[in-house]
């Protein structure tokens, strides 16, 4: 496996782990929302079920969202610093996430326009952490491999 493929595979794995690690925070937000609206807070298996569903969604998002955003960030800011790669990758990831969320709400006959916009913003926010982890890992491993070549 080449160093580029290895770097991106490690970054993808870390992005998936970070995405799944967000499950308790998403669950806590949904629980607070349910309590404020007198909704059903779920049963004792709500958190494990959410972790399982985010595991599956995260596995699908790695090749569909995190890897393309990381590649575009790396290619456009080839000799740039980490913050430029992050900005470009964040923009690409946010646009892709909003497109996927909007497509799913249209396909499932989801909420109104305002609800769809709110879901798009939540989707864009949910992918920023894993995207930052992905870009940070590939940037760090690139720096490490290039400094080893200088020796």
Chain segment 75-122, per-residue pLDDT in tens: 887 777 888 889 999 999 999 999 999 888 888 887 788 888 888 898
CB 71 within 8 A of CB 11: no
Calculate the alpha carbon distances from 101 to 43, 81, 111 in Å.
26, 30, 12
Q: How far is CA 9 from CA 5, 94, 127, in A?
A: 6, 21, 18
Read off the pLDDT of residues 18-45 as tens digits, 9 standing for 90 and up: 999 988 888 888 888 888 888 887 777 8
pLDDT of 146: 58
Neighbours of 128 (CB within 10 A): 15
- Matching residue, tokens 């400094």: 147
User: How far are the Cα atoms of 59, 74, 83, 89, 139 from residue 80, in angstroms, in the given order?
Assistant: 29, 9, 8, 13, 10
pLDDT at 10 exceeding the cut of 60: yes
Please count the other Cβ atoms lying within 10 Å of the Cβ belonging to residue 6.
Answer: 12
Predicted TM-score (pTM) above 0.85: no
Q: In which band, very low, low, confident or very high, does the pLDDT at 150 lie, cut at 50, 70 and 90?
A: very low
- What does the pLDDT look like over 38-59, one tens digit per residue? 888 777 788 888 888 889 988 9
Is 16 a residue whose pLDDT tops 80? yes
Predicted local confidence at residue 133, as pLDDT: 92
């Amino acid at each position: 496996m080449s160093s580029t493929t290895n770097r991106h595979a490690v970054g993808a794995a870390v992005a998936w782990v970070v995405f799944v690690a967000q499950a308790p925070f998403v669950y806590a937000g949904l629980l607070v929302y349910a309590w404020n609206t007198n909704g059903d807070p779920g049963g004792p298996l709500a958190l494990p079920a959410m972790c399982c569903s985010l595991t599956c969604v995260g596995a699908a998002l790695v090749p569909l969202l995190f890897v393309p955003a990381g590649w575009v960030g790396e290619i456009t800011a080839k000799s740039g610093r980490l913050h430029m790669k992050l900005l470009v990758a964040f923009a690409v990831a946010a646009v892709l996430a909003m497109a996927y969320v909007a497509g799913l709400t249209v396909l499932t006959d989801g909420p109104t326009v305002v609800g769809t916009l709110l879901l798009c913003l939540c989707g864009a926010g949910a992918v920023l952490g894993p995207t930052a982890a992905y870009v940070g890992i590939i940037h760090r491993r690139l720096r490490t491999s290039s400094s080893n070549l200088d020796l």
